[in-house]
Amino acid sequence: MEVAEEEQLVRCPVCLRELPGAHINSHLDSCLQAGEGEVDPGSSTPCKRPRITAAPSGSQVEGQPDEARPATVLSFFHKGRGAGQSPGAAGRRSGAGREEAAAVKLEDGGSAGSGPALCGASLAQKLEGKPLAERLRPDTLGEYVGQERVLGAQTLLRSLLESHEIPSLILWGPPGCGKTTLAHIIANSSKKNGTRFVTLSATSAKTNDVRDVISQAQNEKRLFKRKTILFIDEIHRFNKSQQDTFLPHVECGTVTLIGATTENPSFQVNAALLSRCRVIVLEKLSVEAMEAILMRAVRSLGVQVLGQGDQHSSSATGSSSESSEFPVCIEEKALKTLAYLCDGDARTGLNGLQLAVQARLAVGKTTPLNIPKGGSADGILITEEHVKEGLQRSHILYDRAGEEHYNCISALHKSMRGSDENASLYWLARMLEGGEDPLYVARRLVRFASEDIGLADPLALTQAVAAYQGCHFIGMPECEVILAQCVVYFARAPKSIEVYKAYSNVKECLRMHTGPLPPVPLHLRNAPTTLMKNLGYGKGYKYNPMYKEPVEQDYLPEELKGTDFFKE
Ligand SMILES: Nc1ncnc2c1ncn2[C@@H]1O[C@H](COP(=O)(O)OP(=O)(O)OP(=O)(O)O)[C@@H](O)[C@H]1O
């Protein structure tokens, strides 16, 4: 059977020549390198839709919006990043350092490092089209910054990747920490040994798309002995039955799965699938890692970084003129602030930088500057304020629908329970500033008032309900102080879980009861009709207000007589 397959003639989809099946893989590799410009541009490397708001102008190939591309990209081929560049070119560059890589990526002359600052007009052109974050996506592990814990020199993952032994992986980490980038690097390197890399986004792909990928992977394996790596971005968006579709194929090795998710995979990925994948936890990028990424970006753009001493602020009389004549510089402090504020999200940081630069170029206002090695000249200066504007509030890591939402509300609840008013205020602000619904927080406060403060301060419940109504009446941002007041009140309040525990004991008692529940004692029953009276309803009931002394009367069912739910 296999001999027959190898002898079977297969048409090369690049040059359309027919060759024996056994030779098609090696032929494809050479064919791709020779005639790459003619290959289908559908990228098989993972690529993100830009989050940046500025609409990119100009045509894009690899970076075209997701919706413009078919959901399933079944190409064998990978279009190089630049014209005439082979798919793995970046990966094959020997000893490619960061600056060298940057210079190659922004091929139109962005001299990295210490060259003269670039003039505004050419910089503006450079920033058109594909977003900076996408253009600077690393192609090799050497360019990948941070994530030392999982990708450091001696780690298992790195040795697996370097030996092209790619296991099924779930990459779990916050937005912009490099999950898609890592998959992109794997895509580049896996092509060296002829492995196919197919990308699907769970936000747009249907179950049929997955089936198509699987059946093509089966054919590839059967006919050409070619492996397929399937990258599924945002895998948590596939429901459990969609995830079941590829489970058996991951198990039998038809596809190697790489899933990326921002959500805890223990909740979002099928247990069976999860047990067949190695979970790689990527962390949000450190401030230092972000500084390195931003520094690489400014170098690649040819923007000069000015330290404290380099700036000359004697004349604040900026003039508005054609920016094309002037060098563009950025304060070192602005870069550090950006690295700090983007909260480990490289895409946010790079987008913020791009927006700040584009905004300053559009204004075209120049300032007298002391450019190192370039003497004193008028130029466009990007300051800390400009990058802050570029970022606005979007840098705050908060996903209202995701795990962070539950993490933060839990941290708030526990801080109030621990009577830490500072931490309580902090977690409240983290949620509100991140765009949380104030009523969601207010509802939690109502619960806290009874669950944790209870009868130690019964007014707490009134406070919480009032806070809820206050938020309802006036909304954000005015209602933030209402919530803040309530949160501090609760953090300072005495705590009692007496009622909460007693009620839990009652529920436990009901859950543990076997057989039919005991009937309501007759004397406690209401008797609105004669028949009920005749049946003994209400008989012997002692109406308490009629008695001067405490009344001896049972209120619990007979079999629970004397039970004290308030005791342990
Ligand atoms: N570790 C890294 N080293 C260098 N650049 C990085 C790194 N991580 C991210 N970047 C940059 O940030 C951009 C966005 O990263 P990426 O798409 O990999 O994030 P992600 O973790 O997949 O985010 P999301 O969950 O939002 O999809 C990349 O295009 C790249 O320019």
CATH of the domain at 408: 1.20.272.10
Q: Using CA of residue 280, residue 286, residue 291, residue 292, what is the dihedral sign?
A: negative
Cα–Cα distance between 357 and 540 in angstroms, integer?
86
Cα–Cα distance between 500 and 498 in angstroms, integer?
6
Residue 448 in any domain: the answer is yes
Task: Please state, for a pLDDT cut of 70, what percent of the chain lies above it.
Answer: 73
Residue 136 sits in the same domain as residue 153: no
Q: pLDDT category, 179, cuts 50, 70, 90?
A: very high
User: What separation in Å is there between the alpha carbon of 202 and the centre of ligand 1?
Assistant: 18
Nearest to 351 by CA among 383, 327, 387: 387
Residue 80 in any domain: the answer is yes
Q: pLDDT category, 181, cuts 50, 70, 90?
A: very high
Cβ atoms of 269 and 170 within 8 Å: the answer is yes
Residue 257 in any domain: the answer is yes
Residue 102 sits in the same domain as residue 84: no
Residue 511 in any domain: the answer is no
User: What separation in Å is there between the alpha carbon of 187 and the centre of ligand 1?
Assistant: 15
pLDDT at 373: 62
pLDDT at 433: 82
Residue 504 in any domain: the answer is no
Which residues share a beta bridge with 230? 198, 257
Number of domains within the chain: 5
pLDDT at 502: 96
Cβ atoms of 200 and 231 within 8 Å: the answer is yes
Task: Give, for ligand 1, the residue of 130, 135, 137, 286 to mutate: max count of ligand atoms closer than 8 Å to Cβ.
Answer: 137
User: What separation in Å is there between the alpha carbon of 134 and the centre of ligand 1?
Assistant: 8
Residue 321 sits in the same domain as residue 361: yes
Task: Give, for ligand 1, the residue of 148, 295, 347 to mutate: max count of ligand atoms closer than 8 Å to Cβ.
Answer: 347
Q: What is the position in ligand 1's atom list of the atom closest to the CA of 48?
A: 17
pLDDT at 444: 96
Cα–Cα distance between 207 and 285 in angstroms, integer?
33
Torsion angle in degrees (nearest 10) through CA of 454, 456, 462, 466: -90
- Lowest mean pLDDT segment, chosen from 20-29, 40-49, 51-60, 279-288: 51-60
Residue 294 sits in the same domain as residue 381: yes
- pLDDT (tens digit per residue) in 218-238: 998 888 888 899 999 888 888
Residue 56 sits in the same domain as residue 178: yes
Residue 44 sits in the same domain as residue 169: yes
Report the complex ipTM. Answer: 0.98
Task: Please state, for a pLDDT cut of 90, what percent of the chain lies above it.
Answer: 30
Cα–Cα distance between 115 and 144 in angstroms, integer?
24
pLDDT at 29: 63
Cis peptide before 477 (omega within 30 of 0): yes
CA-to-CA dists, residue 40 to 77, 184, 315, angstroms: 7, 18, 55
Which residue has a Cα nearest atom 28 of ligand 1? 137
Task: Give, for ligand 1, the residue of 172, 177, 343 to mutate: max count of ligand atoms closer than 8 Å to Cβ.
Answer: 177
Mean local confidence (pLDDT), 367-386? 74
pLDDT at 45: 52
Greater pLDDT, 370 or 49: 370
Residue 136 in any domain: the answer is yes
Residue 173 sits in the same domain as residue 238: yes
As a three-state string, the secondary structure of 221-264 is: HHHHCCCEEEEEECHHHCCHHHHHHHHHHHHCCCEEEEEEECCC
Q: Which of 441, 467, 496 is the last residue of a domain?
A: 496
Q: Which of 397, 418, 449 is the last residue of a domain?
A: 397
Mean local confidence (pLDDT), 199-208? 82
Please state the φ and ψ torsions of residue 466, each to the nearest 5 degrees: -65, -40
- pLDDT (tens digit per residue) in 322-348: 444 578 889 898 898 888 888 888 998
| Paired tokens of 171 | 């990459």
User: What separation in Å is there between the alpha carbon of 297 and the centre of ligand 1?
Assistant: 13
Which residue has a Cα nearest atom 26 of ligand 1? 175
Q: Which of 466, 496, 526 is the last residue of a domain?
A: 496
Which residue has a Cα nearest atom 16 of ligand 1? 178
User: What separation in Å is there between the alpha carbon of 50 and the centre of ligand 1?
Assistant: 11
Which residue has a Cα nearest atom 7 of ligand 1? 178
The length of the chain in residues reads 568
pLDDT at 121: 56
pLDDT at 399: 55
Cβ atoms of 19 and 12 within 8 Å: the answer is yes
Residue 117 sits in the same domain as residue 245: no
Cβ atoms of 200 and 209 within 8 Å: the answer is yes
Judging by beta carbons within 10 Å of its beta carbon (0-12, 13-18, 19+), is residue 184 exposed, middle or buried?
Answer: buried
Cβ atoms of 367 and 342 within 8 Å: the answer is no
Q: What is the position in ligand 1's atom list of the atom closest to the CA of 261?
A: 25
User: What separation in Å is there between the alpha carbon of 560 and the centre of ligand 1?
Assistant: 62
Contacts of 408 (CB under 8 A, 6+ apart): 398, 427, 430, 431, 434, 436
Q: What is the position in ligand 1's atom list of the atom closest to the CA of 174?
A: 25
* 403-417 and 438-448 helices, crossing angle to 10°: 40
pLDDT at 398: 52
Task: Give, for ligand 1, the residue of 62, 141, 180, 299 to mutate: max count of ligand atoms closer than 8 Å to Cβ.
Answer: 180
Cβ atoms of 257 and 277 within 8 Å: the answer is yes
Q: pLDDT category, 311, cuts 50, 70, 90?
A: low
The enclosing domain of 253 has a CATH number of 3.40.50.300
Residue 125 sits in the same domain as residue 39: no
pLDDT at residue 532 greater than cutoff 80: yes
Residues with CB under 6 A from ligand 1: 48, 133-134, 136-138, 144-147, 173, 175-181, 260, 262, 293, 346-347, 350
- The one-character DSSP state at 173 is -
Residue 365 in any domain: the answer is yes
Residue 302 sits in the same domain as residue 355: yes
Q: pLDDT category, 192, cuts 50, 70, 90?
A: confident
Residue 292 sits in the same domain as residue 270: no
Cβ atoms of 304 and 371 within 8 Å: the answer is yes
- pLDDT (tens digit per residue) in 96-143: 333 333 333 443 333 333 333 445 557 777 777 778 888 899 988 889
Which value, in Å, is the radius of gyration of the alpha carbons in the chain?
Answer: 32
pLDDT at 389: 76
The enclosing domain of 21 has a CATH number of 3.30.160
- pLDDT (tens digit per residue) in 80-103: 323 333 323 333 333 333 333 333
Q: pLDDT category, 40, cuts 50, 70, 90?
A: very low
Residue 501 in any domain: the answer is no
Mean local confidence (pLDDT), 60-83? 30
List the domain range (segments joined by +) for residue 102. Answer: 98-141+285-397
pLDDT at 367: 73
Q: Which amino acid is at 174?
A: P
Residue 250 sits in the same domain as residue 351: no
Predicted TM-score (pTM) of this structure: 0.56
